[in-house]
Chains A and B, each alone.
Chain A
Amino acid sequence: MAVGVACVAVTAGLLVYEVPREAHSSDGAVRFYAYIKGSEGRVLTTGDALDIPFLLQVAALEKIPRGSDYALVVPATEQLAARDGIGQITYETVAPWFRFLLLPVEPTSPARARYVICWGCDMAAWSRRVVWVWREHSRMGIGRVRG
């Protein structure tokens, strides 16, 4: 019987302590996320937390039409990406993130893509092939392939 009473006492004690803490934690989370606007904002915030530029995500959603496809062009190696301020985790996650974000627009190879998402790429080298439909600076933009 002592074992049973002890188990009940421990659980009841946890409940008394944890329920107010959980309620407080929920209030805190709701307050913290109050700055995010709309469902799309909630998704983009996750990308933002991965250090993927918010504006690049918004532009990709706006500029690449449904039924199209895209290629993500980022530096060839992690070391080169670091020079553009792209961290290791961001470098590893940027491709699957855009794949998730842009579906039903699917990723494809740069040779076949109708759109190019450039982040840390040499935009000048791409300028002969694409028309830049959005650009943040000289190494971040979204281009539509000519022709």
Chain B
Amino acid sequence: MGASLRGVVELNLLFLLAGIAILWGMRGFRSLLDLLDLLGLALALGLGSVSVLATLVLVAGGGLPAAVIVALALAVLVAGSGVALAARRGVPRRLGRLPISPGTCFALAAALGALVVLVGLFRVARVAPLGGGDSWQFWVPKAKLIYFTGGIGDPLFTTLPGPNYPLLVPALFAMDFRFMGSADAAELAVQNWFLYAAFVLAAAPVLRRLVPAWLAWLFVAATAVIPQLDARVLNAQADWTLDILFALTALLGIGWLRTGERWQLWSFGILLSAVFATLREGELLAACLCLGIAAASRRSRRRVWPRLFGVGAAAYALNVPWRIWWTSRGLPSDLPGGGFHLHQLLTHRSLIWPSLMDVLQPLFSATMWLVFVPTALVASAACLTLAGPARDTAVVYLTTFVLAVAGLTWVGWSDPGGLVGSLNPLPRVVGSLVLLSTVLAPLLIDPLLRRSKPLTRSAETATRSEPIPSAPSI
């Protein structure tokens, strides 16, 4: 194993340990198999939490030497373990039982499909050239500057394109460089591979708590064959990082809404802060998601909304220091073009339609994304006629989807110069909505297969008064 690959593996092991401690503190583990089941989520949570903390170190004027990275991971590990010990959560000693069900063979087949694609992607990640224009235009140069100059204070940092873009991806890459022992940009593809592997291994167990394993794995494996994922997931850019973190965040948010398990709410908060810290569009998508969950939970708003918006505000608060940093240096606004200036927007209102088409056409392009968006839309429309959690999930999905499409249309509309060729971010940003559609599809399809009770007046009244259940203790 080369030094660069070993460095990436070691860093991700560190993330994994931090994430295991987070999950141990938040929910505990029933058995060793339960722990094994949640390793993907642990990696995503560890990566998200340590990387967000790393951005705070950078904003505070610090650098990311190995000691700081280890200290950040240790801080998360100690915090998680401390909560676990305080809550008297034991260390898992039992092996546990494999969840065998009638659809297990089908689930295994789908998981095998995902594994085949993951192995293939890993092989490509080891040999492919550095991909993506933005990677060498600014994401990797920013990481190199952090690695070589010890922070974000170098004047070149603010003269690179996207000087106000959030710091999570450069911080993550800089940590990779530190563990590699060199700025080996090509090997960053392996870091992105780890993130996608974490997504696959995290989404499946979260979904499996709500739908049969075969249905969960069918759609999680389906994410692996999305053509645009195949083409770009290994690029050292922030697009797929955002897509993956956003889809997992949405899944955990809905998981919390449906089960009331507090660990899912905290996990939702951790990944939401990472979404905010990844790309400017993350702020838009995070707001749409929170509004979607709020819309679906209006019946139990007294219980849900304070927690939802409290966690959302806390997640955003972690990103306020970065906003203060770049605004205090007089960098240009992170709003696209005309931003919120109504007069300026109205002067080029002819762009509304083209920018809406710029969002919708790639969203429904089968050659780019296959057919998961139409599938989820059809299933969610059918779920609106049902009662209970199926309808709630459909409301979350549709509200998030419609608001995000409107928001992305505004991005294109307000930036007349932005809708040109490769500069146009819209065909890339819709990836978050495609991945959202793919991972939520099982939750929307399962009630249709079960022939859930149709929505009636009495059913609606019954679900309206149904409170969110309290978190089951483990």
Q: Which A residues are closer than 8 A to B by beta carbons?
A: 1, 3-5, 7-8, 10-12, 14-15, 18-19, 21-23, 25-27, 29-30, 33-34, 36, 39-40, 42-43, 45-46, 49, 93, 96-97, 99-101, 103-104, 106
Say yes or no: B449 contacts A8, CB within 8 Å: yes
What are 17 A-B contacts with C-beta separation under 8 Å? A3-B378, A3-B379, A7-B379, A7-B445, A8-B445, A11-B222, A11-B372, A15-B221, A22-B116, A23-B117, A26-B124, A33-B127, A34-B127, A39-B184, A46-B129, A100-B141, A101-B136
Say whether B20 faces chain A, with CB atoms less than 8 Å apart.
no
Given A5-B449, A23-B120, A42-B129, do A14 and B225 touch, yes or no (CB 8 Å)? Answer: yes
Say yes or no: A103 contacts B144, CB within 8 Å: yes
Which residues in B have their C-beta under 8 angstroms from that of A40?
A: 186
Say yes or no: B129 contacts A45, CB within 8 Å: yes
CB under 8 Å from chain A, chain B span 175-200: 183-187
Say yes or no: A46 contacts B130, CB within 8 Å: yes
Say whether B145 faces chain A, with CB atoms less than 8 Å apart.
yes
Neighbour of A43 across the interface among B119, B129, B141, CB < 8 A = B129
A61 to chain B, nearest CB (A): 12
Q: Which 4 A-B pairs have the closest CB atoms?
A: A26-B120, A4-B448, A18-B225, A42-B186
Say yes or no: A104 contacts B382, CB within 8 Å: no
A91 to chain B, nearest CB (A): 15
Which residues in A have their C-beta under 8 angstroms from that of B136?
A: 46, 96-97, 100-101
Say yes or no: B218 contacts A12, CB within 8 Å: yes
| Alpha-carbon distance between A77 and B128 when the two chains are bound, in angstroms | 33
17 extra interface residue pairs, beta carbon distance < 8 Å, beyond A11-B219, A12-B218: A4-B448, A5-B449, A7-B379, A7-B441, A7-B448, A8-B215, A11-B222, A14-B225, A15-B110, A19-B224, A22-B116, A22-B117, A34-B127, A42-B127, A46-B130, A100-B185, A104-B145
Which residues in B have their C-beta under 8 angstroms from that of A3?
A: 378-379, 382, 448
Say whether B4 faces chain A, with CB atoms less than 8 Å apart.
yes
* Residue in chain B with minimal CB distance to A93: B133
Neighbour of B117 across the interface among A11, A19, A101, CB < 8 A = A19
* Residue in chain B with minimal CB distance to A105: B148
Which residues in A have their C-beta under 8 angstroms from that of B84?
A: none
Which residues in B have their C-beta under 8 angstroms from that of A19?
A: 113, 116-117, 221, 224-225
Interface size of B in residues (CB-CB distance below 8 Å) = 54
Say yes or no: A49 contacts B129, CB within 8 Å: yes
Chain B 439-474, CB-CB to A under 8 Å as 1, else 0, gives: 001000111110100000000000000000000000
Which residues in A have their C-beta under 8 angstroms from that of B113?
A: 15, 19
Say whether B365 faces chain A, with CB atoms less than 8 Å apart.
no
Neighbour of A106 across the interface among B110, B116, B156, B215, CB < 8 A = B156
Say yes or no: B129 contacts A27, CB within 8 Å: no
| Alpha-carbon distance between A94 and B121 when the two chains are bound, in angstroms | 29
Neighbour of B149 across the interface among A22, A29, A45, A104, CB < 8 A = A104
Say yes or no: A23 contacts B225, CB within 8 Å: no
Which residues in A have their C-beta under 8 angstroms from that of B141?
A: 99-100, 103
CB under 8 Å from chain A, chain B span 114-152: 116-117, 119-121, 123-124, 127-131, 133, 136-137, 140-141, 144-145, 148-149
Neighbour of B128 across the interface among A42, A97, A106, CB < 8 A = A42
* Residue in chain B with minimal CB distance to A101: B136
| Alpha-carbon distance between A3 and B117 when the two chains are bound, in angstroms | 28
Given A4-B379, A39-B187, do A33 and B129 touch, yes or no (CB 8 Å)? Answer: yes
B148 to chain A, nearest CB (A): 4
Say whether B371 faces chain A, with CB atoms less than 8 Å apart.
yes
Say yes or no: B379 contacts A14, CB within 8 Å: no
Which residues in A have their C-beta under 8 angstroms from that of B119?
A: 26
A36 to chain B, nearest CB (A): 7
Which residues in A have their C-beta under 8 angstroms from that of B149?
A: 104
CB under 8 Å from chain A, chain B span 407-450: 441, 445-449
CB under 8 Å from chain A, chain B span 351-404: 370-372, 375, 378-379, 382
Say whether B10 faces chain A, with CB atoms less than 8 Å apart.
no
| Alpha-carbon distance between A3 and B222 when the two chains are bound, in angstroms | 18
